[in-house]
């Protein structure tokens, strides 16, 4: 990645959500009865991004040719919750293809025609409802950390640990900063940057996508009835 500075979060930082197994992730997907909820889950699972960032995705920021999504929109001011460039992998591809075919360059995730971006705070509760519906916390010992919206992000990062370099994990999880000029060189219309250079600069993100493609999604798909049947 170009001009990335920063470091991974401290290993001893308290976790906000417990790990999820492949069986539990598949159960969450199968518990999603509404298409926009299932799409939200799949995109969140494949990127490790915050739910609000996923709700904000517009078709214009999906770069299928490069295999990435730019989560920060043009003119947006970077906050302490950085919006990274994330990979496209596995079932994310047909989900994004379908959404873009219907929504074009605008907001992709909608509930009853209304962009989920307009109610993203409520959207974080969707994950909690799916946890209850899937029953993955049923019978958990009293005092044990429960599954929640942070569990997906936590599981995503820890799955990648040891499979890709730390800087690659940091780059896709927003633990590092990517300057606006660097994003312009990669994505702005008319940028003189060659496709070869773009792919080289995005290689860390693409490496994460390849690992998810080869080792993560196959385990989820074979456990999810919705993914196997093509409902997702």
CATH number, domain containing residue 123: 1.10.443.10
The radius of gyration of the chain from alpha carbons, rounded to an integer in Å, stands at 17
Domain membership of residue 43 (yes or no) is yes
State pLDDT tens for residues 56-69. Answer: 999 999 999 999 99
Domain membership of residue 141 (yes or no) is no
Phi first, then psi, for residue 5 (nearest 5°) are -125, 155
At 179 the pLDDT is: 77
Residues counted in the chain: 232
Domain membership of residue 107 (yes or no) is yes
Q: Which residues contact 188 (CB under 8 A, 6 or more apart)?
A: none
Average pLDDT over residues 130-136: 93
At 232 the pLDDT is: 63
Is the model more confident about 49 or about 75?
49
Examine the pLDDT at 159 and tell me if it is beyond 80: yes
Cβ–Cβ < 8 Å for 101, 94? no
Structural domain boundaries enclosing 71: 15-136+146-228
Domain membership of residue 1 (yes or no) is no
Domain membership of residue 206 (yes or no) is yes
Is the model more confident about 119 or about 55?
55
State pLDDT tens for residues 85-122. Answer: 999 999 999 999 999 999 999 999 999 889 998 865 56
Q: Rounded to whole angstroms, what are the CA distances from 53 to 12, 58, 136, 164, 225?
A: 25, 10, 25, 23, 27
Average pLDDT over residues 186-214: 90
Average pLDDT over residues 140-163: 90
Domain membership of residue 8 (yes or no) is no
Question: What are the tokens at 194?
Answer: 């060659």
Domain membership of residue 35 (yes or no) is yes
At 78 the pLDDT is: 67
Examine the pLDDT at 14 and tell me if it is beyond 60: no
Examine the pLDDT at 1 and tell me if it is beyond 90: no
Number of domain units in the chain: 1
Domain membership of residue 178 (yes or no) is yes
């Amino acid at each position: 990645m170009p001009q990335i500075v920063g470091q991974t979060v401290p290993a001893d930082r308290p976790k906000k959500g417990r790990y999820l197994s492949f069986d539990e992730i598949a159960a969450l997907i199968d518990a999603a009865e509404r298409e926009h909820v299932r799409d939200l889950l799949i995109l969140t699972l494949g990127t490790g991004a915050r739910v609000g960032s996923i709700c904000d995705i517009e078709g214009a920021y999906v770069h299928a040719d490069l295999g990435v999504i730019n989560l920060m929109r043009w003119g947006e001011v970077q906050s302490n919750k950085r919006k990274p460039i994330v990979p496209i992998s596995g079932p994310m591809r047909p989900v994004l293809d379908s959404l873009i075919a219907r929504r074009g360059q605008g907001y992709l995730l909608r509930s009853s025609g209304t962009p989920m971006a307009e109610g993203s705070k409520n959207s974080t509760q969707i994950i909690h409802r799916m946890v209850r519906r899937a029953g993955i916390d049923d019978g958990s010992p009293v005092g044990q950390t429960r599954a929640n919206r942070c569990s997906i992000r936590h599981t995503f990062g820890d799955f990648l640990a040891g499979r890709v370099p730390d800087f690659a994990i940091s780059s896709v999880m927003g633990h590092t900063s990517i300057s606006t000029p660097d994003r312009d060189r990669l994505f702005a219309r008319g940028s003189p940057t060659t496709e070869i250079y773009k792919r080289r600069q995005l290689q860390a993100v693409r490496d994460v996508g390849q690992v998810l493609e080869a080792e993560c999604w196959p385990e989820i798909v074979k456990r999810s009835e919705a993914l196997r049947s093509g409902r997702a």
